[in-house]
Structure 1
Amino acid sequence: MCVFSSVTLAAHNPVVNMDLPDVSVVQAGNKYYMSSTTMHLSPGLPILKSDDLVNWEIVSYAYDRLVENEEINLQNGKNAYGKGSWASSLRYHNNRFYVSTFSATSGKTHIYSTTDVETGDWQSHSFEPALHDNSLFFDDDGRVYMIYGGGQIKLIELDEDATSIKPEGLNKILIDNANLVFGEHDAGGLPAEGSQMFKINGKYYLFTIASPESHWSRTVIVHRADEITGPYESRIMMQDRQVAQGGLIQAPDGAWYAMLFGDRGPVGRIPFLVPVSWQNNWPVLGVEGKVPDILPHLPARAGYKGLVSSDDFERKEGDRLLPLVWQWNHNPDDKNWTLLSDPGRLRISTSRIDENVLHARNTLTQRTFGPTSSANTQIDVSNMKDGDVAGLIALQKEYGFIGVRAEGDNKIIIVEQAAPGSDKPVPPKSSVGSQASVPQGQEAVFLRIDCDFRTNVASFYYKFDDEDWIPLGSKLHMRYTIPEHFMGYRFGLFNYATKTPGGSVDFNYYQVGKRSEIY
């Protein structure tokens, strides 16, 4: 007799092991929706959907282009790295979705809304000033507010349609120094920020993130009041594994959770789901105050479909030109990229001279993910001009790429890395193993990058045709930079000119996955 047993796989933390910081979650019908931060990338302010709080996919972006200026367009030596749009607040009110953010690049607070979060157009409104880490809040009496600030937490009233500040509306300080919860001797650390406001059973709960002065430890602080204007009582609710900033969500079965993010170095700030219980009308986070590794009542993650994806650049009628997993590094120059068919391929052309890869326009990116991820591409280099550089990058301030550099009639495969602590490249080496020649007449080159976030090292490879991958150059020691780029490493496809504009390269495909799955 055979005995069969069924095994139900449970969810594990982190629920998503990739850069999705500043999360804000709502429930609408039987779905969950989440917004996150992608700063200088375009399109921006991604909206994700899930059935179970564990498996997420991108379904839309609140904007295609945040603003038009030299910084976000990578013009005249300016950039928006580490800026763009920051922590958002996603809300669902009267069958309409609202998401707010703020931007040092535009100098404004931005509010987007739609009745169809997945396929509808987002209406855009903005106003000055840029309200830091704001939380959009609709109260039961019809009044609308934003709670914002760092250290000192403030409230300001908006018009009923949540499009502008209400003239002569409520405008006051809610908490003069939210860090005093650590004690006066320890209140000088990271000022409390990342506000998210909730109203539950008639009480107001304000979540913030902070760190004490004596040691760096991201901390969840919850402030509670009977009236939105206060007074607020504050408590430290969790201080574990650098996991904080986010807010509450209730599942249909009545269970409560907090969706937060945790700092995890070069892979970025990644989502953790923490169970919540209630004691004396206070939300108690975690299991005995800790972030659990296992979430037994939720299904296991089924992969990262909808968050990253391979692409053969073939499109059928009605398809999006670029799937939602793709984002440009800054606003693209749409005159200088295109998708070609038969066969499908992405062409990136050059129209100006650039100093290095971080200044190049039209770098097309996707997230990396942990613990290991790998990307590879095939690039047609036959239309490069002298001085052009094109390839595959692990993008951050301290970047590393493997690419092809055109030198007169010759083409050289190179590995370039930013110097530690700098966005300038390390001077090129002429030693054996640091570069390779492309044979005359060879038009296609295969390039590959492996990222291992257990050791925070990236490795570079190339090949021609159907042969074994050949390692090239030294390994990149990946490092998360704050406040410069302020995001996890991303894979990117790029092309830029250093001497003469007008060249182009074709990327024939993009493949991404766990290293063990694709090699």
Structure 2
Amino acid sequence: MTTDETHETYTNPILDADWSDPDVVRVGDDFYLTASSFGRVPGLPLLHSRDLVNWTLVGHALERLEPAKEFTKPRHDCGVWAPALRYHDERFWIFWGDPDQGIFQINAPEIRGPWTRPHLLKEGKGLIDPCPLWDEETGEAYLVHAWAKSRSGVKNRLTGHRMHPDGTELLDEGKLIVDGDRIPGWFTLEGPKLYQHDGWFWIFAPAGGVETGWQGALRSRGFFGPYEEKVVLEQRDTEVNGPHQGGWVRTPSGEDWFVHFQQKGAYGRVVHLQPMSWGADGWPVLGDAGAPVAVHPKPDLPPQPAAAPATDDDFPGGRYGRQWQWTANPQDGWATHHSGDGLRLTCVRSADAHDLRKLPSVLTQRLPGTPSAVEVEVKLHSEEAGSRAGLAVLGDAFGWIGLQRGADGAVHLVHRFAEAVAEQERDADHPRLAPEGSVRLRIEIGAGARCRFFYDIGEGPHPSGPVFAATPWRWVGALLGLFALAPVGSGHAGAATFSHFRIDHL
């Protein structure tokens, strides 16, 4: 599914799934985008486009979350928050905040790497949303960041630092450069992106909260202020609630564009593209005179074929595509390579097998933002009683459908769910025999992320259980997940094979 409506126009959102807190940069004729990945691994997705409308996923910049011991189990709302992507000194740079660790930085000579290991630039709690700036005229380097009240007790303010030009250290203790409490009506100022333009230092930063807020711009003749502010993008009478947090980019022909997100519940934070110009008063004008656009002429860039990040997967050689992420740092042996097609997942032993939210060995991808049907074939090879494998919709509440080996040795089709407040799953429908030990599973995702589950054990598709409404975590949208599990015990528990994973838009 793409938003490339015609050769002349595009429709928002340009990325209709949870690509949270996007930032964008242009290098030559190429545009690159990264986004928050929170506790999933690999982290820091890297997307590429030639026209700002059609994007493909080309890799990830972060192989594992560090410190590794902090991410052996899922921490769904933690980890990588709001990265900034920049190109300087012939290198790509990504800065991000881990709200429990501090501000990290990695860099690479090419977008596909190799990327350096994470370098902790500033240690501390609640340090989020960092963005660097290299002043090409003076040779000075700067960093701005926001604060998470949940960790630091502080929010609604931006702190600025001088930074060593090589990005390895900060050169001062930091200074409060914008105090949102002093701006009438502004609260939860965060997500700053730092630029220079027309003799000014610019900070593009949202405020007002992710679901109800607006996008602001602030400017000063000097990096450390004082800054003046203006609201430059807000919902008005559109359906785009809280247009929020993103990046400004300029095309080779001099057009300006702004990429930002919209919070959409279980679908997470979908990505919009807004036209941008500079008003007579020197302030940026985003969208349609400050309101988000739904349909708009494309950027003045060479036409590109329609494209979108991959979703389908045949798992050639047992390898999974770039669209998949584990819910924590993976261990060797969770997925095994082989000569054929199909994903072979080991039935990982866990005392938390009754609660998918606690399991690091769930392989996930983003929930599509448009009505869709998700299908996959599953075969359970494990002979151990209690082993199971299936397809899940995973959030603060979860539901899954799949196969489980019974105490009698038979394989059963099971469908289970857990509410957000529940500590253990329960049946959503009566178990039934799956005599061949395999099944074709289907989840139809309708409006409002309402999910209907189906199975086919060789007799045609049958519905299972009631409608399940997908839910997000606090910051992360709902996920699709594949898993294979076994009860606590010793020895190898066997495996399950997943094949022909498809997402078709309804």
Give the TM-score taking structure 2 as reference length: 0.89
The alpha-carbon distance between structure 1 residues 301 and 494, as it changes in their structure 2 partners (threshold 3 A), is farther
SS in 2 for 1:455: helix
8 Å Cα contact 1:60/1:119 also seen in 2: no
The separation in 2 between residues aligned to 1:29 and 1:85, in whole angstroms, is 27
Which residue of structure 2 aligns with residue 477 of structure 1? 469
Deviations 1:161-208 (A, max 9, x none): 102222xx37211012x2543x2xx44x4x100010111122111011
The alpha-carbon distance between structure 1 residues 414 and 495, as it changes in their structure 2 partners (threshold 3 A), is same
Structure 2's unaligned 5+ residue stretches are: 1-5, 147-154
Given candidates 192, 195, 203, the residue that maps to 2:192 is 195
Which residue of structure 2 aligns with residue 450 of structure 1? 444
Shift of 1:492: 1.2
SS in 2 for 1:111: strand
Which residue of structure 1 aligns with residue 66 of structure 2? 67
Shift of 1:352: 3.6
Equivalent residue letter for 1:236: V
8 Å Cα contact 2:22/2:34 also seen in 1: yes
The separation in 1 between residues aligned to 2:22 and 2:384, in whole angstroms, is 43
8 Å Cα contact 2:347/2:486 also seen in 1: no
The separation in 2 between residues aligned to 1:361 and 1:480, in whole angstroms, is 17
Which residue of structure 1 aligns with residue 287 of structure 2? 286
Which residue of structure 2 aligns with residue 93 of structure 1? 88
Given candidates 467, 479, 496, the residue that maps to 1:506 is 496
8 Å Cα contact 1:11/1:295 also seen in 2: yes
The separation in 2 between residues aligned to 1:346 and 1:477, in whole angstroms, is 29
Which residue of structure 1 aligns with residue 485 of structure 2? 496
Larger mean CA deviation between 329-338 and 272-281 belongs to 329-338
The alpha-carbon distance between structure 1 residues 290 and 423, as it changes in their structure 2 partners (threshold 3 A), is farther
The separation in 2 between residues aligned to 1:295 and 1:423, in whole angstroms, is 45
| 1:103-502 equivalence runs, <5 A | 103-105=98-100, 107-127=101-121, 128-129=123-124, 131-140=127-136, 141-149=138-146, 150-166=155-171, 169=172, 171-176=174-179, 178-181=180-183, 183=184, 186-187=185-186, 189=187, 191-211=188-208, 217-240=212-235, 241=240, 242-279=242-279, 280-298=281-299, 305=308, 307-315=309-317, 321-354=319-352, 355-408=354-407, 409-419=409-419, 421-422=420-421, 424-428=423-427, 433-439=429-435, 442-452=436-446, 454-465=447-458, 467-482=459-474, 486-500=475-489, 502=492
Q: Share of identical aligned residues, percent?
A: 24
SS in 1 for 2:82: coil
Shift of 1:505: 2.7
The separation in 2 between residues aligned to 1:495 and 1:267, in whole angstroms, is 25
Number of equivalent positions: 479
The alpha-carbon distance between structure 1 residues 508 and 403, as it changes in their structure 2 partners (threshold 3 A), is closer
Shift of 1:123: 4.6
Which residue of structure 2 aligns with residue 4 of structure 1? none
The separation in 2 between residues aligned to 1:337 and 1:82, in whole angstroms, is 25
Structure 1's unaligned 5+ residue stretches are: 1-6
Equivalent residue letter for 2:163: L
Deviations 1:64-108 (A, max 9, x none): 11114454111xxxx312001101011111211100112135x13
SS in 2 for 1:59: strand
8 Å Cα contact 2:391/2:480 also seen in 1: yes
The separation in 2 between residues aligned to 1:427 and 1:513, in whole angstroms, is 27
Shift of 1:498: 3.0
The separation in 2 between residues aligned to 1:61 and 1:136, in whole angstroms, is 20
The separation in 1 between residues aligned to 2:196 and 2:95, in whole angstroms, is 18
The separation in 2 between residues aligned to 1:343 and 1:60, in whole angstroms, is 22
The separation in 1 between residues aligned to 2:67 and 2:349, in whole angstroms, is 19
Larger mean CA deviation between 295-304 and 338-347 belongs to 295-304
Larger mean CA deviation between 233-242 and 129-138 belongs to 129-138
8 Å Cα contact 2:142/2:162 also seen in 1: yes
Equivalent residue letter for 2:250: Q
SS in 2 for 1:133: strand
SS in 1 for 2:81: coil
Equivalent residue letter for 2:443: I
Deviations 1:421-442 (A, max 9, x none): 325345336xxx5432222xx1
The alpha-carbon distance between structure 1 residues 256 and 262, as it changes in their structure 2 partners (threshold 3 A), is same
The separation in 2 between residues aligned to 1:489 and 1:275, in whole angstroms, is 29
The separation in 2 between residues aligned to 1:144 and 1:65, in whole angstroms, is 28
The separation in 2 between residues aligned to 1:283 and 1:400, in whole angstroms, is 45
8 Å Cα contact 2:349/2:488 also seen in 1: no
SS in 1 for 2:191: strand
Equivalent residue letter for 1:411: V
The separation in 2 between residues aligned to 1:200 and 1:295, in whole angstroms, is 25
Deviations 1:226-283 (A, max 9, x none): 1111110011112112211112111222211111100111111011111112112110
Shift of 1:337: 2.4
The separation in 2 between residues aligned to 1:423 and 1:98, in whole angstroms, is 41
SS in 2 for 1:116: coil
The alpha-carbon distance between structure 1 residues 44 and 249, as it changes in their structure 2 partners (threshold 3 A), is same
Give the TM-score taking structure 1 as reference length: 0.87
Equivalent residue letter for 1:463: D
Equivalent residue letter for 2:156: G
